[in-house]
Amino acid sequence: MAEPLRLVPPLRLMPTETAELDATFTDGPPDVLRHAYDRHSSLVYTFCRRSVGPELANDVTQEVFITAWKQRHRFDPGRGVLAGWLVGIARYKILEALRRRQLYLIDDRSLSAARLVSPDSVGALADRLVLADALGELPWRTRALITMAFHEQLTHAEISERTGLPLGTVKSEIRRGLERLRRQMDQSND
Amino acid sequence: MTDPESSYSERELELLASLRDLESDDWQLDSPPAHVWAGIERAIRERPAIEAALPSVADEGVANQRGSGRVASSRRWWLVAASIVAVVCVGVGAVALFDGDNANEVVVAATELSSAGLDGAPEGLRGDASVIETTGGQMIEVDIGNLRPASGEFLEVWLIRPDVSGMVSLGTARPDGRYELPPGMRLADFPIVDVSTEPYDGDPVHSGASLLRGVLPS
């Protein structure tokens, strides 16, 4: 059954634009920081808010982007994606903020109860947020197919049947998409 | 469904499992309040572009050392030194100052070095020291500017305890200015960065003649 896909259109920048942003970040004009902020500030801020709480998150987010700008010559788009690099800086800033203020118990009002934050949990959160972000970066159709694979645990054949796409297309598109996710994950863990 | 041709590989299953492990919160990104960007913009605008492009101001110092002309000028010669060291022409689209192994590093602490207050040292000597987080651990980068040893002497880089009760030699000053930290050493215990001039007398102890010194923020 060849029902047309009814999937959510992309809300974010397309991958090509993000790649272009990464490539120009080190030597681009000052407004490239604004582009980077537009693209990645919610990722960085959410990571900070969930790690150090809403009070400190604003300051830490600022520190991350100021440091990234000062040290942008150290970013190499050939080695990793900007999102992963920024999250890496944020991870350092978060641990530093926690250490400096001896603030390991975070009372995040968006959560039901206070929870303990450890370096490991900060790292795990970073990994999950980068993964979710990377998935959002995939072309919308690839993302939809992968979502069916992990969310509904459908096989290639079932997805092919569901979407009306040829089995070979489903297989190769999911494989390419997952490879891309893996690359981004590996890079952000450097 | 059991046809191997149509099933996922082990690697793919692993990744699908981590995707499944994502919590619903992980999909919900919140935007920071508008004043966050305003603060970044202010900090960036108040720092000259050439200074902003270069490391070595302590992270903690970002908010405290805005727009210092002195800092800006020391950056300028750092730029010259770095471009010579890296044999990279800055400004023609170089992606990174250093080679691939050193890319994507983060300066996690930095201090200026100076000869101020050091007995016997010429006045006005300046340098920078930066602690760099790399994929292989922490390194320290000590930029001594155009400082060269006097004839018959060599320069040595040290890390010293705050109360000068102990010190560790990082070795003879190197052209690339990069030093590995001894494994297991806590930088917080040895925050003073010191560059001394040493005679070739075979005595491994600090000569007492320091030319540059600075303290890394804890």
What is the ipTM for the molecules in this complex?
0.74
Handedness of CA A115, A118, A120, A126 (dihedral sign): positive
**3-state class (DSSP) for residue A58:** helix
Mean pLDDT of chain B: 72
Quick one: pLDDT at residue B90?
A: 33
| Contact between chains at B96 and A74 (C-beta distance less than 8 A) | yes
Quick one: pLDDT at residue B47?
A: 52
Higher-pLDDT residue of B125 and A175 is: A175
Quick one: pLDDT at residue A30?
A: 66
- CA nearest A44: which of A108, A91, A76? A91
CA–CA dist B190, A20 (Å, integer): 42
Q: Does B55 touch chain A (CB under 8 A)?
A: yes
CA–CA dist A69, B52 (Å, integer): 7
Whether A47 and A53 have beta carbons less than 8 Å apart is answered as no
> Most confidently modeled of A117-121, B60-64, B116-120?
B116-120
**3-state class (DSSP) for residue B108:** strand
| Contact between chains at A42 and B7 (C-beta distance less than 8 A) | no
| Contact between chains at B49 and A175 (C-beta distance less than 8 A) | no
Quick one: pLDDT at residue B218?
A: 74
- CA nearest B55: which of B112, B121, B138? B112
Which range, of A144-153, A173-182, B178-187, averages the lowest pLDDT?
A: B178-187
| Contact between chains at B104 and A175 (C-beta distance less than 8 A) | no
Higher-pLDDT residue of A5 and B163 is: B163
* Both tokens assigned to B156: 């040595």
B210 phi/psi in degrees, rounded to 5: -90, 140
DSSP B127-166: EEEEEEEETTEEEEEEE-TT--PPTTEEEEEEEE-TTSS-
Band (pLDDT 50/70/90 cuts) for residue B166 is confident
Mean pLDDT throughout A137-156? 90
Is the pLDDT at A37 greater than 90? The verdict is: yes
| Contact between chains at B103 and A78 (C-beta distance less than 8 A) | yes
| Contact between chains at A70 and B100 (C-beta distance less than 8 A) | no
* Both tokens assigned to A55: 């009070």
Mean pLDDT throughout A149-175? 92
Nearest Cβ partner for B27 among A89, A132, A157:
A132
Is the pLDDT at A20 greater than 90? The verdict is: no
| Contact between chains at B49 and A63 (C-beta distance less than 8 A) | no
Query: Which chain B residues have a beta carbon less than 8 Å from that of A37?
Result: 37, 40
Whether B157 and B129 have beta carbons less than 8 Å apart is answered as no
Q: Does B95 touch chain A (CB under 8 A)?
A: yes
Higher-pLDDT residue of A27 and A147 is: A147
Chain B, 164 to 203: residues with Cβ < 8 Å from chain A are none
Residue type, B2: T
Which range, of A8-22, A87-101, B201-215, averages the lowest pLDDT?
A: A8-22
Mean pLDDT throughout B181-202? 87
CA–CA dist A108, A111 (Å, integer): 5
pLDDT (tens digit, 9 = 90+) per residue, A85-119? Answer: 899 999 988 888 877 664 444 444 444 333 456 77
Is the pLDDT at B89 greater than 50? The verdict is: no
| Contact between chains at B54 and A76 (C-beta distance less than 8 A) | no
Quick one: pLDDT at residue B51?
A: 39
Mean pLDDT throughout A174-183? 90
A58 phi/psi in degrees, rounded to 5: -60, -50
Percentage with pLDDT > 70 across chain A: 76
The CA-based diameter of chain B, rounded to the nearest angstrom, is: 81
Higher-pLDDT residue of B66 and B40 is: B40
Q: Does B57 touch chain A (CB under 8 A)?
A: yes
* Both tokens assigned to B186: 């806590």
Quick one: pLDDT at residue B214?
A: 92
Query: Which chain B residues have a beta carbon less than 8 Å from that of A155?
Result: 1, 6-7
Give the long-range contacts of residues A32-36, CB within 8 A, separation 24 or more. Answer: A33/A65, A33/A68, A33/A69, A33/B40, A33/B44, A34/B37, A36/A65, A36/A68, A36/A82, A36/A86
Q: Does B154 touch chain A (CB under 8 A)?
A: no
| Contact between chains at B103 and A79 (C-beta distance less than 8 A) | yes
Query: Which chain B residues have a beta carbon less than 8 Å from that of A132?
Result: 22, 26-27
Work out the minimum CA distance from B152 to partner chain A, whole angstroms: 37
* Both tokens assigned to B184: 């297991």
| Whether the predicted model's global pTM rises above the 0.90 cut | no
Query: Which chain A residues have a beta carbon less than 8 Å from that of B106?
Result: 67, 71, 74, 88-89, 92
* Both tokens assigned to A39: 């693209």
Mean pLDDT throughout A14-27? 66
DSSP B163-185: TSS-EEEEEE--TT-EEEPPTT-
B112 contacts: CB under 8 Å, gap ≥ 6: B56, B71, B74, B126, B127, B128, B214
Nearest chain A residue to B91 by CA: give it.
A27
